[in-house]
Each structure stands twice: as structure tokens, then as C-alpha cells.
Structure 1
Amino acid sequence: MSDTPRLTCDIDDNQIATVTLNRADKLNAIDMAMFQAVNQLTKRLKNDKSVRAVIVRANGSDFCSGLDVKSLLTNRNDALKLLFKWWPTLPNDAQRFSIGWREIPCPVIFAIHGRCWGGGLQLASGGDFRIASPEANFSIMEAKWGLIPDMGGALAFRELMRQDHTLEMAMTAKVIDADTAKEYGLLTKIADDPYATAYDLALECINRSPDILAANKKLYHRTWWSSPGKALCLETWYQIKVALGKNRAIAARRERTPEDKPSYTKRQFK
């Protein structure tokens, strides 16, 4: 195993965290060390109230070529560790690789270039936004290896794509281009410089209260497929919580005095 860290994470003066996949020599293919690094980082970012937005990008020619099949499928113990669950409805380590980003209470933006295949696509589908370069391409690649997508794809793909498009990609392992991926709903935007565009979007988001960013994310993740009653209940409850917070008053002052904007306090919404 290489001593090179699988991820780097840098937080700048705007409290925007840039996470970089760092296995360029293997096209950022996902091995056990990559699973562990991502899952540890998402837990840490989830609990860091000072982080305002997260951007995920990759070093090298490709965002992520998918699973490191040689590394993982030849090691039965690693495969069992990834699939093991304490309870059937709780995520295992393979699924946390994608859905862990959903639990971070701030915007998570993926900046994608080159190949985004298999587990790489499921990883990116766990974010709130996906911005890709025009030459990027995408595939639910698991069918090539006689497998199904099992890293949270059952959640993410149903929210992003029509069922027939998801089935077509999962059953054929076909590769689609960026325009098709945007048509299918997998992409938010296509941009020549995905990271710069992602950073501009992050700046737009952090101009707003960190509490409303967290509340909106939690509200729509919890109610997108819920009953109308639950959606209306949580909408009211979360509104009360953010309205009583310090950042609601700060947001109002920022709008009234744009020439002298006070800074927001750290996120309080849970």
C-alpha cells in the first residue's frame, strides 16, 4: 500500500473545505484505504461547525475510475468489512462512502473531470451539487464485474434520475457523456473549470446563514419521499428553530446594511 494519503482536506479563510482525491497514479480507484479515508473525513466534517461549504475534486486525469477490483475482490476480509451491518436498515461502510456527504450540514459540491465511473459516480451522487467538465463521462460500471451498485446508489440515483435511465445504466454499464448526464439529472452544471464554478457556488451559499443551509439540506433529505404530513410538520419545526437562532437576526441586519455586513456565528441548527 502506498504511503501517499488517499485524501487531502484544506480549509481556507472563507471556511470552505476543499477535499481532493489523491490516488492519481491509479485513476483514483477506490481501495480499502480510500473507503476508510472518506468515511473518517465525512464524520469529521459533519461535526465541524466552522466549515461553511465543502468541495470535492480529484488529482490526475480522472475524477474516479471506480472500484479497485484487484485490490478489493481478491481480499475477502476487506469485502466482508465493507458489507457488514449491525442492523439491516443502517448503512455499512461501503454505503457511508456515498451517503456520508449527505450528513454534513452544509453544501457539498463535487467538481468532476475525466472518468466518473462505478463507485466514483456513487460517491459524487452523495453530494448536493455536481459540476463537471465538458469531457467528463459517467457510468454505473458494476455490471461489468457481475455486481450491482451498492454504495448508496439505491438512494441517490432514485432522487436524481428517472427509473428507466437508472436501470439502463445499471444493466448495461454504458458510458454516457456530460451532456447526457445533465439531461438524466446526474449533473447540476457543465463548466470548463468545474472547481472554479464550484467555488463560486460555495461563495453564493455562504453568503447566507449557516443555519438555513443546514436546515434546508436536512429538510429536503428527510421529506423528499415522505408523506405530505411529515413534510409540513418538519418544515414548520425547522422554521421555528432557525427563526429563534442568532443567525436569523444577523441575516436581517446584513440585508438592511449591505455596506457593513456582520459575520454569522457558527452553525447552531442540528
Structure 2
Amino acid sequence: MEKDLVKLSIEHGIAHVCLNRPSKINALSYEMFTSIDKVIKRLGNDKSVNAVILSGAEGNFCSGLDVKSVANSPSKAIKLLFKWLPGNANLAQRVSLDWQRLPIPVIAVLEGCCYGGGTQIALGADIRIASPECKLSIMEAKWGLVPDMAGLVALRQIMPKDKALMLTYTADILNATQALELGLISQISNTPYDAALELANHIMRTSPDANAAIKRSINQSWTGSVRSLLARESLSQIRLLLGKNRVIAAIRQTKQPDKPYRSRQSWW
């Protein structure tokens, strides 16, 4: 059994998160769910992190739920799905949804298998860069399951309902080109990790406070009313302008575009 189910390293403000269960094609055991959840919480509390690159070990992102591992332990299945209120996120849902809730840009690097729960986790990222050989599938129906890891939060924003239903009903496996056409991924690259790192470094030259506000505003307003969108944009701008030291830093940044920002404010 792999020792660190999720590897985390932070370099120059960029967090590198790697799903690390290669002997099982990075399949999701209960322990892996809890490890991902802990890493997300740690990153949310680290104000020095301004971008995240999420990947899988040894050429695969994630082959989905380790059904046998979870089914053999009813107590773990209960812990995975338990929630105090129906509208809350349980552990299975947090490993997708909470990437969206982080006030940090999250870039997923998709290689090899990205099936079922792996696709659900990838949908939690803001941007998905895939290798040409990557295969994606919303595969839960094949195993008699409903996709219940909150990937639908992002899926409903990136494709029409009929396309989402077709993918979910059929559990078809898509190649990278098909996934790009449907909006499941953002970009195809022969060197997806390098492309993600280049993008993360580019993001590091912009304001982390502005990025946090942009991510929050877009995610919460994408399917909301126009009135809520207008209110959210105005409130975010006021909060940014009230932090005048950060505004001054942003102005200075335009004169030194290659110098990365240090950290974001705690109120994001």
C-alpha cells in the first residue's frame, strides 16, 4: 500500500497535489477521500498559496471509486456518504466541490484514466489540461451508481443538459478530442504538466485577491440571477478597493510583471 495517498509540495506559491495510489490506478479508497479532504483544508488555510496543480501519479489521473474497498467496509461507506443535513456536502462530495470553494485557481492535469470519481474530482478544478491519450468517462451508471460527488455543479455550467444526460446514461469513454469538444477539458497538451505549470506561473503574476474575488463571483453567479451577479461584483470590488495597500501593490505589479505576488488577504 502506498504510504502517502496524496502528495503535497509547495514551491514558490504553487501547490503541487498528486493523487498517489498508482498500484490501483489512483482509485479512490475511503482513506484517499480523507487524504484529499485534508489537503484541500490545509491549502484553504495557507495564504501563501496562490495556485494549485492537481495531478495523478505515474501517468494516470484517477480510475474512479475503488468499489470493492468501500463495499467491504459498511462503516467506511457510511462515513463517506454521511451528512448532517441533505443540503450539506458529505466527504465524497467535498473532494470535488471544495476545489471550487478554494479562493485559489486550481488546474487539473489529466493523463491516462480519468473515470467516474476521477472525472468528478477533475470537474472541481477551474481548468483541466489533458494529454492526447487521456480517457474520460462519467462511468457510475455502468456500476449501478448515480454520480453523487458534486461534479454536476460544474458540469451544468459547461455543457447543455442533453449532452450531460447522454454522457451519464451511456457511461461512454471519451478521448481527449471528444472531451474538448464537449467542454469537459479546457486544453490538450503533449506535456500537460508543463502547460499547467506555465499557466500557474502566469497566474502568479496577477493579484491573488483579485483572483479570489473573480473565482468566487463567477462560480456563484454563473447560474444565478442578474441582480445577484451585479451585487456580488460590486461587493467584491468594494472589498478590493478598501484594501488600499493591496491596490497599491497591484499597481506596482504592472511595472514589475515578472515578480509574483506573495499572498492574499485573510478575508477571502
TM-score when scaled to structure 1? 0.95
Cα distance in structure 1, aligned partners of 2:131 and 2:66:
24
Correspondence 1:186 to 2:154: no
Determine the structure 1 residue equivalent to 2:119.
Answer: 121
Give the fraction of aligned pairs with identical amino acids, expressed as a percent.
Answer: 43
Report if the CA contact (8 A) 1:250-1:262 is conserved.
no
Deviations 1:214-235 (A, max 9, x none): 0001111111111111110010
Within the candidate set 56, 62, 65, 1:64 is matched to 62
Report if the CA contact (8 A) 2:13-2:262 is conserved.
no
Determine the structure 1 residue equivalent to 2:253.
Answer: 254
Correspondence 1:232-251 to 2 at 5 A:
232-245=230-243, 246-251=245-250
Correspondence 1:189-268 to 2 at 5 A:
189-245=187-243, 246-255=245-254, 257-258=255-256, 264-268=261-265
Deviations 1:195-241 (A, max 9, x none): 10001111111101110010001111111111111110010110011
Report if the CA contact (8 A) 1:253-1:262 is conserved.
no
Shift of the alpha carbon at 1:265? 4.7
Determine the structure 2 residue equivalent to 1:35.
Answer: 33
Aligned-partner residue type, residue 189 of structure 2: A
Report if the CA contact (8 A) 2:6-2:32 is conserved.
yes
Report if the CA contact (8 A) 1:138-1:176 is conserved.
yes
Report if the CA contact (8 A) 1:139-1:173 is conserved.
yes
Within the candidate set 82, 92, 95, 1:94 is matched to 92
Query: What is the RMSD of the two structures over their aligned residues, measured on CA atoms?
Result: 1.4
Aligned-partner residue type, residue 106 of structure 1: I
Note the residue ranges of structure 2 that are not aligned, 5 or more in a row.
none
Cα distance in structure 1, aligned partners of 2:121 and 2:213:
23
Count the aligned residue pairs.
266
Cα distance in structure 2, aligned partners of 1:201 and 1:61:
20
Shift of the alpha carbon at 1:254? 2.2
Note the residue ranges of structure 1 that are not aligned, 5 or more in a row.
none
Report if the CA contact (8 A) 2:25-2:62 is conserved.
yes
